[in-house]
Amino acid sequence: MTLWQPARAALWQGRNDLAEADNALRVFQTLQHRTVFEPEAEGIALLGFACDEGVKRNHGRPGAQKGPDTLRSALANMASHRGHDRLVDLGNIHAQPDALEAAQDALSDAVKQCQQAGMRTLVFGGGHETAFGHGRGVLDAWPDARIAIINIDAHLDLRRAAQATSGTPFRQLALHCEQQGREFNYTCIGVNPAANTQALLDEAARLNVNIIWDTDCQRPEQTAAATQIAALLAWADKIYLTIDLDALPGWQMPAVSAPAGLGIPLDRLLNLLEPLCRSPKLQAVDLVEFNPEFDRDSLGAKVAARLAWQIVHQWSDADNHG
Q: What is the pLDDT of residues 72-127, one digit of tens each?
A: 999 999 999 999 999 999 999 999 999 999 999 999 999 999 999 999 999 999 99
The span from the CA of 138 to the CA of 237, in Å, is 12
Amino acid at 26: R
**Residues of each annotated binding site:** 128, 153, 155, 157, 244, 246
Annotated binding-site ranges for Mn(2+): 128, 153, 155, 157, 244, 246
Per-residue pLDDT reduced to its tens digit, 178-231:
999 999 999 999 999 999 999 999 999 999 999 999 999 999 889 999 999 999
Q: How far apart (Å, rounded) are the C-alpha atoms in residues 262 and 140?
A: 35
Q: What is the pTM of this model?
A: 0.97
Q: Is the pLDDT of residue 27 over 70?
A: yes
Confidence of residue 322 (pLDDT cuts 50, 70, 90): very low
Task: Measure the CA–CA gap between 58 and 168, rounded to whole angstroms.
Answer: 9
Structure confidence at residue 320 as a pLDDT band (50, 70, 90): low
- Report how far residue 161's alpha carbon sits from residue 121's, in angstroms, rounded to the nearest whole number: 28
pLDDT per residue as tens digits for the range 154-177: 999 999 999 999 999 999 999 999
- Residue 317's pLDDT is 66
Q: With a cut of 90, say whether residue 316 has pLDDT above it.
A: no
**CATH assignment of 4-321, among 2.70.98.60, 3.40.800.10, 1.10.600.10, 3.40.640.10:** 3.40.800.10
DSSP category for residue 216: G
Percent residues over pLDDT 90 in the chain: 96
